[in-house]
Amino acid sequence: MRKIFVLDTSVMLYDKTSIHTFTGNDIVLPLVILEELDKFKERSGLIGEAARYVNRFLDGMRSKEIVDGWRLDDKTDIRYTFELAPDMYQSLPEGLDIGYNDNHIIACAIYLKDKYEPQEVKVITKDINLRVKCDAVGVEAEDYFKDHIDQDINQIKGYVKIDSTKERVDEFYKNGKIEVEEELNENLFVISKSGPQKSFLGVHKSGEIKKLVHKIDGLFNVEPRNSEQRFAIEALLDPEIPLVTLTGLAGSGKTFLALMAGLWGLKAGNTEMGNPISEAMGGSFGYDRLIITRTFQPVGRDLGYLPGSMDDKMQPWLMPIFDNVRHAFKDVSYFKMMMEQGDVEVAPIPYIRGRTFNNAFVIVDEAQNATIHELKTIVTRMGQGSKIVLLGDIDQIDTPYIDRQSNGLSIVIDRFQKSKLGAHVNLSKGQRSGLATIASEIL
């Protein structure tokens, strides 16, 4: 039996294609939804694009023949209708103010439930509060699950621990590689032990566990403090891996390692300073620019519009980057000079669309606050010779409508698990200070 779905505005603004997703079922749009879409149609970025897309689609549906109150899209076998029955609000439970748009949706769902019984009626919304209100008044409601993963993202660590024999450990150190005996994903890192004394770190590539070979050294040196940071450095510097995701608690070194790798990649691409990476890759590797971007999601109360130029507006979001540069070099003047020369560029996410980044090292900080559609916009900007690094703490999501299982970073990690183009490392140990580590765990 066909189901009836009442779509909330939050779903269509989150994913413009959601209007086509419920194949073989019916979609009802309360007229209040159109008023909400109208408010967003002139907004810049993905939200404005989504509102305009849905409006254009619905405008095109006006030419469809109406049969029993429904307009049929033959391509998807979805029927559409708008609902504003005169007696719809009589079924609204007492205590719910009709002045709130969410309550219009609840009234519509209850009215449809009575009108089309026993056909199933369900509200689809990204709004947690609306789902709770629906449950309280006996209306079925659920999240939009198209962009949602089932597995707890913390279970994807990016590395595995494997027991080994003394002979295999000796073979690894002798040859720099061994053939795998287990089924492993590409670019999965390995901690292998044989008793308390024999062990090695490696990475799985094309059926072999190979030695880790990349280091950040030369003009500045970065020493990994644990095996996870060693894996992160290997992934960040491997020119055969264009996509790297790093997760971990606050102070685990995600931003610091990515920033140092990006700056070292710039150094490696400068022939006047020497070119160790490029020489190792036959002269074909090295970055022209370091691009830094992040979501503009404040923690706590927003400060509103900030005055000044784009650089002035970006200053609050650049402070974590400057903190890491100051920690590494005790000074930020040279880094600022690189920004002035264009070697380092800050590119806010809303202004990335339409651009192409060739031979660039791109860092996306706080990626857990981005939707999969925002991250898709960024990742698809990558051109030849570029690398993109997505950083984030899955336990610090500040954006409404997404959670641990539906934020863009978690989805990217999940979908690139088996791809040779991606590598992931979860940094579980804090390095900022003992206090910061304990605070992340107990507060």
Label residue 277 by pLDDT band (50, 70, 90): very low
Which has the minimum average pLDDT: 49-53, 181-185, 201-205, 380-384?
A: 181-185
> pLDDT for 279-300, tens place per residue?
443 344 589 999 998 776 543 3
Inter-CA distances, 24 with 35, 164, 233, Å? 27, 52, 48
Rounded mean pLDDT, 213-242? 91
Which has the minimum average pLDDT: 15-24, 306-315, 318-327?
A: 306-315
Rounded mean pLDDT, 363-383? 92
Which tokens in the block code for residue 2?
A: 């066909």
> pLDDT for 312-321, tens place per residue?
666 677 788 8
Minimal CA–CA distance to 206: which of 184, 189, 191?
184
> pLDDT for 353-365, tens place per residue?
778 899 999 999 9
> pLDDT for 58-77, tens place per residue?
999 999 999 999 999 989 99
Minimal CA–CA distance to 397: which of 367, 369, 427, 439?
369
Give strand pairing partners of 387. 361
Q: Quote the mean pLDDT of the chain.
A: 86
Contact 391/367 with Cβ under 8 angstroms?
A: yes
Q: Given this model, what pLDDT does residue 273 score?
A: 43
Name the pTM for this structure: 0.83
DSSP tally for the chain: helices H, then strands E: 14, 18
Which tokens in the block code for residue 46?
A: 């993905």
Instruction: Name the pairing type of β-strands 189-194 and 198-205.
Output: antiparallel
Across 8-158, the runs of DSSP E, i.e. the strands, are 26-30, 66-67, 70-73, 78-83, 121-124, 141-142
Contacts of 97 (CB under 8 A, 6+ apart): 103
Cα–Cα distance measured from residue 5 to residue 76, given in angstroms and rounded to the nearest whole number: 15
> pLDDT for 409-441, tens place per residue?
999 999 999 999 999 999 987 666 677 667 766
Cα–Cα distance measured from residue 352 to residue 303, given in angstroms and rounded to the nearest whole number: 23
Share of the chain above pLDDT 70, in %: 89
Answer whether residue 212 shows pLDDT above 50: yes
372-379 and 45-61 helices cross at what angle (nearest 10)?
Answer: 110
- Given the structure tokens 């974590």, which residue do they identify? 320
Answer whether residue 381 shows pLDDT above 60: yes
DSSP state of 419: -
Share of the chain above pLDDT 90, in %: 56
Q: Given this model, what pLDDT does residue 429 score?
A: 76
Burial class (CB in 10 A: 0-12, 13-18, 19+), 375: buried
Between 384 and 267, name the one with better pLDDT: 384
Q: Given this model, what pLDDT does residue 278 score?
A: 42
Which residue ranges form the domains of the chain, and what is each CATH number? Answer: 4-142 (3.40.50.1010), 216-442 (3.40.50.300)
Q: Given this model, what pLDDT does residue 126 score?
A: 93
Cα–Cα distance measured from residue 61 to residue 80, given in angstroms and rounded to the nearest whole number: 8
